[in-house]
Structure formats: C-alpha cells, structure tokens
Amino acid sequence: MYDLNYQHLKYFWTVARCGSIASACRELHLTQSTISNQIRILEKRLGVRLFRRSGRHLALTETGQLAFRYAGEIFSLGGELVSAVQGRTAGVPRRLHVGAQDTLPKLIVSRLLEPAFDLPESVQVICHEGTPAQLLPRLAVHEIDLVLADAPLEPDIRVRAFNHPLGECGIALFAIPDLARRLRQGFPSSLQGAPALLPAPTAAMRGTLERWFHAAGVRPAVVAEFEDIELMMTLGRAGRGFFPAHDAIIPEITADPRVELVAVVEKGSERLYAVSVERRLRHPAVIAIVQAARRTLFARAGPDPGDRPGPPAG
C-alpha cells in the first residue's frame, strides 16, 4: 500500500491552487523542474493522471479535482492543528494572521485592527496584503485567520468561507485646498474634466464611482489609477488630482492641512467584510475586530443583516 508523501501532495495542491507551475514556483521558492518531478512521482505512485494539458496551460483531470478537494481538507486540518497548538502554548502570544485586500486604505485597516491590540490576552498580529485570489486560498488552509475585503467572497474562488459584514460607509472626495475650493463651486458639474486619481478597476469603490460619475453626467480626466491606495493619496496630497476615500476616515485624512474635503458622494454605498472559514467566530481577536467595527467605525450601518456564507469549495 502506498504511504502518501504529503510534500508531494503539497506541491500538487499548490500548483492546482495557483493555476500554473510558474506561480507555484514563486510561492514555494522552488524550481520548475523540482515541482514537475515531484508531481510526476505522485502521479506514478497513485497510478493516475492529475493534470492534463489544455493548450499552454494545465487543467485538473476529474481525478485531479477529487485529489485537490481532499488535499484542501488535509491541509486545512493541518492548519487547525498548528493554530490549536500555538494558541494553547503557555507564555506564547496567540497569533492572528490577517489578510488585507490591497485596495483597502491602510487607515481603514489600521482602525479595524486596533481592538486586537487591546485584549487582556497578548496577541501577535501578522499582516498580509494581496488580492482576494491570493489571500483567500491561504485562508482555506488556515495560513490566514481573517481576510478584510471590500466585497464578499466571489463564487469563482473555490474556498468554503463566510462573509461577516463589518458595516457600510460612503465615499468622500478630497483634494489640495486650491483644487478643493474650485471643485466645491458648482459641484458636481465642476468634476467635468477635473484631474482625478482613482483606485484600480479591481476595487469595489472604482465601480461605484464610475456609476456615480455616469449618473451625475460628469467625466473627470483620469490622471492615474492605483492598486496602492496610499500612493494614490500621496499624489493627491501633492496636488496631482482629487481622490476618493471612505468617509469613515474623513477626520484622519483632513487632519493633514494639505488636504480638504470636497464632498461626500454615494452615502452608505461601500460595504466592508471580514471573510473567515468559520461561520461562528471563535478567535478572540477576530471577534473583537468584528464587534468594534460594527459598534464604532461603521456604526451608521444600521441593523446587522446577519453573516452570509460564501460559496462552497469545488
């Protein structure tokens, strides 16, 4: 009987999750030949093909899809084991791995994380940043405890997880004082042709803004768009154009004398989520983050609509 080599299985699972050997190489810090050879050994010992060629890409066979689901459960249990042991080791702070979507302003993320540092129990917070496609698979195997995102889990991401709404806020527009004063006159018509710094199209806020611009009948001149929101704000403070941000952090942004509020648009249009593999939250720091967000940062959100599950894996 073949004793499963979990290292071979990890290589297979990573390739399937990342979508290519090249992407898996970057994540595992291994060469392509190493990963390819280990997968071939796994296939030989199992006596099945796990991948098939689809043009220039690899696709899972039917058996490969079955193996991928089992592998996900295996590594998920392994992550639970590590979390359980680390959480109960005397004298060692409980760890909290938080993934933050790269299109979220760091001011929002830092405000959300604050309650984790104020618990009676010592908590070590480890922050990770990336796209949902990068962060959510790591959530599935318990490498990350929580993902903070500006949209609920998408159906095409094969992760069994739950969307915990944190609250909702609006979008505010900011600019340096001279530009802000000009834009406030005749707003929103004043935005026509005005220099704009906008989030990347992958950000939920970008879609909301585009719809608002269309409804208002204005078309700003997009000077630049950003995945890095902090860079967008930095260039906004340098006078390159007006820029948007969540209205929940207006006081923090306007504390800088180089920036003024132009207007608040689309009140209550943006909703933030904590995505977890747990329907009922158990990590004390995660509970503190979610409760504080609903009670203070996004208190205007109104009655909690309840935690909504994401789509099942596979």
The CATH number given to whatever domain includes residue 11 is 1.10.10.10
Residue 94 shares a structural domain with residue 147: yes
Residue 291 shares a structural domain with residue 163: yes
Residue 181 shares a structural domain with residue 299: no
**Torsion on CA atoms 208, 214, 220, 225, rounded to nearest 10:** 30
pLDDT (tens digit, 9 = 90+) per residue, 253-296?
A: 999 999 999 999 977 678 889 898 877 788 888 899 998 888 87
Residue 163 shares a structural domain with residue 182: no
**How high is the pLDDT of residue 99?**
92
Give the confidence band of 310 by pLDDT, cuts at 50, 70, 90. Answer: very low
**How high is the pLDDT of residue 81?**
66
**How high is the pLDDT of residue 88?**
55
Give phi and psi for 268, each to the nearest 5. 70, 15
Which domain range does residue 298 map to? 80-168+271-309
314 domain residue, yes or no: no
Residue 147 shares a structural domain with residue 186: no
pLDDT (tens digit, 9 = 90+) per residue, 183-215?
A: 999 999 999 999 999 999 988 899 999 999 999
pLDDT (tens digit, 9 = 90+) per residue, 235-253?
A: 999 999 999 999 988 999 9
**How high is the pLDDT of residue 308?**
39
Residue 122 shares a structural domain with residue 156: yes
What's the domain count of the chain?
3
Q: Looking at the DSSP assignment, which residues form a beta bridge with residue 108? A: none
Tell me what the mean pLDDT of segment 136-143 comes to: 80
Give phi and psi for 74, each to the nearest 5. -60, -50
Burial of 231-256, coded b for 16+ CB within 10 Å and e otherwise, reads ebbebbbeebbbbbbbbbbbeebeee
Tokens 């596979």 belong to residue: 314
Out of 34-38, 59-63, 108-112, 280-284, which region has the weakest mean confidence (pLDDT)? 280-284
Q: Are 243 and 216 in contact (CB under 8 A)?
A: no
Q: In 3D, which of 248, 257, 255, 199 has the Cα closest to residue 224?
A: 199
Residue 146 shares a structural domain with residue 86: yes
Tell me: pLDDT of 124 over 50. Answer: yes
**How high is the pLDDT of residue 266?**
75
Residue 284 shares a structural domain with residue 163: yes
Residue 45 shares a structural domain with residue 122: no
Rounded to the nearest integer, the mean pLDDT of the chain is 84
- Boundary (domain end) residue, out of 73, 88, 116: 73
181 domain residue, yes or no: yes
Quote the radius of gyration of the chain (alpha carbons, Å).
23
Triad 167, 173, 178: Cα angle to 5°:
155
Tell me: pLDDT of 234 over 50. Answer: yes
90 domain residue, yes or no: yes
Dist. CA 98–CA 143, nearest whole Å: 9
Residue 114 shares a structural domain with residue 225: no
Residue 64 shares a structural domain with residue 35: yes
Q: Is the bond preceding residue 257 a cis peptide, omega within 30 degrees?
A: no
Residue 52 shares a structural domain with residue 40: yes
- Boundary (domain end) residue, out of 41, 73, 105: 73
1 domain residue, yes or no: no
261 domain residue, yes or no: yes
- Boundary (domain end) residue, out of 50, 73, 96: 73
